[in-house]
Structure 1
Amino acid sequence: MARWLLHSKPMRLLHCLLILLVWSVSCTDFDDLFQSNWSPDHILIQQDHVNLTLDSVSGCGFESKKKYLFGKASVQIKLVEGDSSGTVTAFYMASEGPNHDELDFEFLGNLSGQPYLVQTNVYANGTGNREQRHTLWFDPTTDFHTYSLFWNRHSIVFLVDNIPIRVFETKGESGVAYPRNQAMGFRGSIWNAGDWATQGGRVKTNWSNAPFVATFRSFDIKACELEPEEDAEAKCGMPRQFWWDKPSLRGLTRHKAHQLKWVRARHLVYDYCKDSVRFTELPRECT
């Protein structure tokens, strides 16, 4: 930013606001910004990464101490290697209460040599059941890859290595709920879901392969921080006040739209909007 611009009071205030909204979290700061929400003894904080461990005793999870509304949250993850059947590693945003909002990345383990499935889901005002499942175009167990959630008042975009794999758009005129006023915390976890995660539960968790370890690093949150007593619309909802409200971010660019089309053609293996067996009447957003 040009130095002369910072001499004006409005620009100084904007500059300070941007600093407050951007958190690039190193693992040495992990305890300052995150807390364990179950089994802290299964979370190992290293200098440049955090290991989450699942064994026959317990899985584990963490959550951010702050909550956010609109913006972008990213993390790099290296998933459980080898036979990970029955395990679920998750990166998600969630609010509190029965009518909560939630945006999910869930990585469903599988037998050695078979592809991981990435399940995404959107909860709005307590209603979910909006699963999509994708394979990936790389092996997510051999190296770190970046998984991101971007959301504003117009759409939610799930990205893998900055490539969109799913878009959920607001359709308020159709009466479809959309996450727009509940602040959500950033969360990560690993847990046992042997009853459904792998081939619908036909392949169970093989505890002889435990412990199962997923590694997280490079946490990055660029979002509007919202305290419980603050008004969501007044703090985070004013149009064009923040970078994520730019007109150019109301939808995907042409390049991003082509990437999404490529992902859907090659890697989408399940879409709730196509499941006429599960839904006798498809959800309204699907039409």
Structure 2
Amino acid sequence: MAGSRALLTALFVLAIAFYPRSVDANFAKSMSFNWGADHSSMTNNGNDLQLVLDTTSGSGIQSKKQFLFGSIEMLIKLVPGNSAGTVTAYYMSSTGSGHDEIDFEFLGNVSGQPYIIHTNIYCQGNGSREQQFYPWFDPTADFHNYTIHWNPTEVVWYVDSMPIRVFRNYQSEGIPYPSQQAMRVYSSLWNADNWATRGGLDKIDWNNAPFIARYSHFRARACKWQGPISFSQCTAQTPGNWWMSPVYSKLSYAKQGQMNWVRNNYMIYDYCKDTKRFNGQMPPECYKPQF
């Protein structure tokens, strides 16, 4: 399995190298600290990053540019050891009360227990669309590729090129979809021990501080937002806008099979199955096909 994952990741990285909008960027060129810069760092000529959480503060970064559609990827090695109470967040978000947002959040756990990969999506300020997974690998032992793919048809969350979740656009049927607002890329490491691990029962053990999440290989293969005119530019059917190609409007049968394998074996929570939470009135997208 490890060899297969390595091969999939290598093929994925090789494939994206030929996308017309591939951006050869790094953290120093593309991101800036928005808090906690005094005890975090960018190294290796800005190609590597570490975010730190200690007793004084957590830390976070945000992209200098906003984007509308494309793919955002990072290699991340999560906090090792007893990470209970910590959250490493990696997401895209617009601003304002009616914001759109696409989330990866990695919920720490006590030593020997697996991380939880927590995903969510906000459309026009409304979230409550969580899905959670256990990783099928140790996310603290090595770097793994986490990618958010976003186009007018669907949002796909990838882990090492394997899709774990899809949120499709059913806006024509009155279901909100993030299609109008540009987003920045964010990542942060912070104290969430009031809820992150077993509902807040397991608190941060500050004897293990500082907690460090490490990053490498930031790529934004996406359409840069430069004002309202960008909407037509980012959605034009041109060769450079690879995300608008029909091949990216739906997962291939092979990718569907990969996603079903992950969901059948490693999914631990799906809001669309939580009838008690919604009193039987499930969100309308739960009745729609994923593919």
- Using the size of structure 2 for normalisation, the TM-score is 0.88
Aligned-partner Cα distance in 2 for 1:240–1:156: 20
AA matched with 1:32:
K
Say which of 234, 237, 247 aligns to 1:236: 234
Q: CA offset at residue 102 of structure 1? A: 0.6
Are residue 41 (structure 1) and residue 69 (structure 2) matched?
A: no
DSSP-derived class of the 1:177 partner: coil
Q: Is the 8 A contact 2:85 2:196 kept in 1?
A: yes
Matching of residues 49-60 of structure 1 within 5 Å: 49-60=48-59
Q: Deviations over 1:216-248 (max 9, x none)?
A: 110011010012x33343221224561111111
Match of 1:191 in 2: 190
Kept in 2, the 8 Å contact 1:44–1:50? The answer is yes
- Matched with 1:94 is 93
Q: Who is 2:8 aligned against? A: none
Contact 2:20-2:242 at 8 Å conserved across structures: no
Which one-letter code corresponds to 2:43 in the other structure?
Q
Q: Percent identity?
A: 45
TM-score (norm 1): 0.89
1:115-264 maps to which residues of 2 (within 5 A)?
A: 115-227=114-226, 229-239=227-237, 242-264=241-263
Partner of 1:31: 28
SS in 2 for 1:92: strand
Where in structure 1 do 4 or more consecutive aligned residues deviate above 4 Å?
none
Which structure has the greater CA radius of gyration?
Answer: 1
| Corresponding position: 1:279 with 2:278 | yes
Distance in 2 (CA, whole Å) between partners of 1:20 and 1:246 is 12
Q: Structure 1 residue 45: deviation in Å?
A: 1.2
**Do the aligned partners of 2:21 and 2:242 also contact (CA within 8 Å) in 1?**
no
Deviation at 1:185, TM superposition (A): 0.7
- What is the CA-CA distance between 1:54 and the residue it aligns to? 0.3
Give 1:20 deviation, angstroms. 8.7
Which residue in 1 is equivalent to 2:110?
111
Checking the alignment, whether the CA contact within 8 Å between 1:181 and 1:232 is kept in structure 2 is no
Distance in 1 (CA, whole Å) between partners of 2:96 and 2:22 is 27
Q: What letter corresponds to residue 25 of structure 2 in structure 1?
A: V
Change in 2 beyond 3 A, CA 1:277/1:32: same
Post-superposition offset of 1:146 = 0.3
SS in 2 for 1:25: coil
The 3-state SS of whatever aligns with 1:282 is: coil
1:19–1:158: structure 2 CA closer, same or farther, 3 Å change rule? closer
Give the counterpart letter for 2:158 in structure 1: L
Q: Distance in 1 between matches of 2:20 and 2:166?
A: 28
In the alignment, the residues of structure 2 paired with residue 240 and residue 65 of structure 1 have an alpha-carbon distance, to the nearest angstrom, of 25
- Residue ranges of structure 2 left out of the alignment (5+ in a row): 1-17
For 2:152 and 2:19, the matched residues in 1 are separated by 22
State the shift of 1:173 in Å.
Answer: 2.8
Asked whether 1:266 is paired with 2:265, we answer: yes
Query: What SS does the aligned partner of 1:115 have?
Result: coil
Read off the aligned partner of 1:34 and give its amino acid letter: M
Letter in structure 2 aligned against 1:185: R
Indicate if the aligned counterparts of 1:182 and 1:232 stay in contact, CA closer than 8 A: no
Number of the residue aligned with 2:7: none
Gaps of 5+ in 1: 1-17
Aligned length in residues: 266
> Counterpart of 1:9?
none
- CA-CA distance at 1:205 after TM superposition: 1.1
1:79, 1:92 → 2: CA distance? 15
In the TM superposition, residue 120 of structure 1 has moved relative to its aligned partner by 0.5
Deviations 1:73-108 (Å, cap 9, x if unpaired)?
100000000000000001111111111111100000
Asked if 2 retains the 8 angstrom alpha-carbon contact of 1:62 and 1:189, the reply is: yes
Q: Is the 8 A contact 1:194 1:204 kept in 2?
A: yes
